[in-house]
């Protein structure tokens, strides 16, 4: 399953809303779609699993939606610490695949 | 504290081999699938391989099957990635990662692999 993320780069300011898209080449079974955040020099952090379920400790400004082939990660109000690269990932079928990433920059 | 610690990275010449190791502590390592994921310079995350909790099943990204082999030793709470015939494009940070089923929610700090002459 090929995952295509858009846009490649999102230039926004703190307090703004970010909307990131992830499109799958075929339906993701059971909506096993996750979102990760990765900052330079850090390990990826799981934000969302099952398309819409926040991982423990993730602020509620992060939300995931979608099903089938179209998924969205929304950050309602960007905080300075949110600027990073975001990846979607499907974990339903082998090979597990990641999207190419969306960089959210100031 | 739950932790995954990778080791074994380094500088290797093209065509060479490396064996990466991952040791789990403070987690029920034997209950989890273990994945290897890499992050190459200027590129995104790429899933490499995973192995079932009991070692009975393994899966690979198509492009690496035949060169890379994943294994585990539950008695030592460890997993390994044997990498052969290394190429420049294998240069990356390699992460060991686990989670519930195939969902990854815990990552090691990563080990750097550099393939260069």
Position A42 scores a pLDDT of 95
Position A96 scores a pLDDT of 96
CA–CA dist A15, B61 (Å, integer): 39
Judge: A89–B107 Cβ closer than 8 Å, yes or no: no
Whether the per-residue pLDDT at B1 is higher than 80: the answer is no
Q: How far is B62 from chain A (nearest CA, A)?
A: 8
CA–CA dist B92, B23 (Å, integer): 19
Confidence label for B29 from pLDDT (cuts 50, 70 and 90): confident
- A92 neighbourhood in chain B, CB within 8 Å: 102
Position A106 scores a pLDDT of 87
pLDDT tens for B10-20 read 999 999 999 99
Position B34 scores a pLDDT of 96
Whether the per-residue pLDDT at B42 is higher than 80: the answer is yes
CA–CA dist B115, B117 (Å, integer): 7
Which among B106, B8, B21, B13 has a CA at the least distance from the CA of A44? Answer: B106
Confidence label for B100 from pLDDT (cuts 50, 70 and 90): confident
Confidence label for B2 from pLDDT (cuts 50, 70 and 90): confident
Closest by Cβ to B95, choosing from A43, A46, A94 = A43
CA–CA dist A43, B82 (Å, integer): 22
Taking residues B20-29, report their average pLDDT.
90
Average pLDDT for chain B: 94
CB-CB contact of A106 with A78 (8 Å): no
Query: Which residue in chain B is spatially nearest to A101 when comparing CA positions?
Result: B44
In tens digits, what is the pLDDT along chain A, a chain of 106 residues? 999 999 999 999 999 999 999 999 999 999 999 999 999 999 999 999 999 999 999 999 999 999 999 999 999 999 999 999 999 999 999 999 999 999 999 8
Judge: A46–B110 Cβ closer than 8 Å, yes or no: no
Judge: B47–A34 Cβ closer than 8 Å, yes or no: no
Whether the per-residue pLDDT at B64 is higher than 80: the answer is yes
Q: How far is A30 from chain B (nearest CA, A)?
A: 12
């Amino acid at each position: 399953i090929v995952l295509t993320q858009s846009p490649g780069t999102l230039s926004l300011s703190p307090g703004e809303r970010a909307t990131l898209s992830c499109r799958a080449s075929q339906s993701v079974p059971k909506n096993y779609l996750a979102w990760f955040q990765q900052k330079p020099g850090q390990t990826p952090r799981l934000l969302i699993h099952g398309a819409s379920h926040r991982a423990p400790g993730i602020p509620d400004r992060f939300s995931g939606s979608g099903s089938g082939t179209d998924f969205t990660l929304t950050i309602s109000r960007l905080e300075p610490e949110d600027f990073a690269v975001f990846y979607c990932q499907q974990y339903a079928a082998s090979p597990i695949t990641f999207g190419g990433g969306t960089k959210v920059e100031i | 504290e739950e932790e995954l610690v990778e080791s074994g990275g380094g500088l290797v010449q093209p065509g060479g081999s490396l064996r990466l190791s991952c040791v789990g502590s403070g987690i029920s390592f034997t209950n989890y699938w273990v994945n290897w994921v890499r992050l190459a310079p200027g590129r995104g995350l790429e899933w490499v391989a995973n192995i079932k909790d009991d070692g009975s099943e393994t899966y690979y990204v198509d492009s690496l099957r035949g060169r890379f082999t994943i294994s585990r030793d539950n008695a030592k709470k460890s997993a390994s990635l044997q990498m052969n015939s290394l190429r420049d494009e294998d240069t990356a940070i390699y992460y060991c990662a686990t989670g519930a089923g195939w969902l990854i929610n815990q990552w090691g700090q990563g080990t750097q692999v550099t393939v260069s002459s």
